[in-house]
C-alpha cells in the first residue's frame, strides 16, 4: 500500500493520544479478544490489551510505556511498521 501523508507519524501519534486517550483506554478496559489498531502513517499502533496481543503476533514490534493526564498507571503501546503489518 502506498502511503502519502503530509503529517509525520510522531505528530499523528501525539494528536491521537491527546484527543482520544480516554476513548482508547475505555475501549481497552474490558477488551478480551480484539486488537484495536490505529493508523499513524508509517506505523500501526495499539494500546493496552491490544498492544500485548499485537506484540505477540509481530516479533519486531516495539513496546513503549507513557503517561497520560488523569491516569495513575503507565499506558502500554505497541507499534509495528505499516509495511510489515500490511505485508
Q: Give tens-digit pLDDT for 3-36.
A: 555 899 999 999 999 999 999 999 999 999 999 9
The distance between the two most distant Cα atoms of the chain, rounded to a whole number of Å, is 39
Residue 2 lies in a domain: no
What sections of 38-81 are H helices per DSSP?
48-57
What percent of the chain is modeled with pLDDT above 90? Answer: 83
Residue 81 lies in a domain: yes
Residue 34 lies in a domain: yes
Domain range for 41 is 9-86
What's the domain count of the chain? Answer: 1
What sections of the chain are H helices per DSSP?
9-29, 48-57, 82-86
Residue 39 lies in a domain: yes
In this prediction, residue 1 carries a pLDDT of: 47
Amino acid at each position: 500500500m502506498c502511503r502519502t501523508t503530509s503529517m509525520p507519524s510522531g505528530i499523528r501519534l501525539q494528536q491521537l493520544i491527546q484527543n482520544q486517550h480516554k476513548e482508547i483506554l475505555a475501549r481497552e478496559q474490558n477488551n478480551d479478544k480484539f486488537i484495536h489498531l490505529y493508523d499513524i502513517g508509517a506505523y500501526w499502533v495499539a494500546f493496552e490489551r491490544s498492544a500485548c496481543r499485537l506484540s505477540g503476533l509481530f516479533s519486531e514490534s516495539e513496546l513503549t510505556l507513557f503517561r497520560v493526564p488523569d491516569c495513575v498507571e503507565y499506558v502500554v503501546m505497541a507499534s509495528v511498521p505499516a509495511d510489515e503489518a500490511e505485508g
